[in-house]
Amino acid sequence: MSLIACTIRLGLISALALAATPAWSQPENLPAPVEALVDQGLTVHERFEAPDGLTGYAASAQGQPVAIYVTENGQHAIVGNLVDAEGKNLSSEPLDEFVKGPQNAAVWQRLEDSHWILDGSSDAPRTVYVFTDPNCPYCKSFWDAARPWVEAGDVQLHHIMVGVLKSDSPAKAATLLGADDPVAAFTAHNRGDEVAPSAQPADIEQQVQDNNTLMRELNLRGTPAIVYHQDGKLEVAQGMPDEEKMRAVMGSPRP
């Protein structure tokens, strides 16, 4: 097993990053140990300063951030976090700046470019993405629980319509996306109106399939799947959030 395989553990957020990793311009003239890691599948994003004659490299493998430190003679590399005498992780800041930040931005852009229905004011300061299946009762529960924040103008929800739960879910999702007024149709649906599936243009049906593909590529397993920012980091909540998680998703206590 390679060093990278021993070191890396792929989690949900790194799966998100892996599905939307932008193209990187790898630094030139990498030392031999780092080149060896690149040959094993590691991607180097940036070189950074490190103490005691070490040279740091912010890298990733399978979407997971990795710090590499090369000795002064360039002949050896250490993979892992560098800690000072007080226990401070000196690797966090460069990995956040050179790896996690760009990854998160790429994921967020993919969500923005997906096919969604706006719930709330487009001027609301906080945006939350929700993968929503028309047949999902927990999606309706989340919609209902979010009303205080949405109606106060604090949060805008972008419901990425998917069809994953039942055989008629794709048709229902397409019907909502293809409605003359998708916002009104989606609101009526969440207030109890049944969605009557109807034939939609091929491009609308493809939008649902594209959303399904995005959900699968981001390794999201159920609905609602909620993607949001917390403390500058990309976070995911799957299923109906409890009260504490709801505050985190919405970014504030209930108005």
CATH number, domain containing residue 128:
3.40.30.10
For 124-142, the pLDDT digits (tens) are 999 999 999 999 999 999 9
- Which tops the pLDDT comparison, 210 or 221? 210
Least reliable range by pLDDT among 9-13, 84-88, 146-150: 9-13
Percentage of the chain lying above the pLDDT 90 cut:
82
Co-location of 100 and 129 in the same domain: no
Co-location of 16 and 53 in the same domain: yes
- Which tops the pLDDT comparison, 13 or 234? 234
Q: Are 207 and 159 in contact (CB under 8 A)?
A: no
Query: Which CATH number belongs to the domain containing residue 62 in this structure?
Result: 3.10.450.70
Q: How does the average pLDDT of the chain come out, rounded?
A: 90
Co-location of 100 and 118 in the same domain: no
Co-location of 119 and 145 in the same domain: yes
Co-location of 236 and 118 in the same domain: yes
Co-location of 131 and 241 in the same domain: yes
Co-location of 136 and 217 in the same domain: yes
In the structure, what pLDDT confidence band is assigned to residue 15 with cuts at 50, 70 and 90?
low
Co-location of 148 and 96 in the same domain: no
Does a structural domain hold residue 109? no
Does a structural domain hold residue 133? yes
Co-location of 175 and 221 in the same domain: yes
What total number of domains does the chain contain?
A: 2
The residue segments making up the domain with residue 125 are 114-250
Co-location of 59 and 130 in the same domain: no
For 30-80, the pLDDT digits (tens) are 999 999 999 999 999 999 999 999 999 999 988 889 999 999 999 999 999
Does a structural domain hold residue 255? no
| Residue ending a domain, choose from 56, 74, 104 | 104
For the entire predicted model, the pTM comes to: 0.82
Co-location of 137 and 97 in the same domain: no
Does a structural domain hold residue 28? yes
Does a structural domain hold residue 57? yes
Co-location of 43 and 143 in the same domain: no
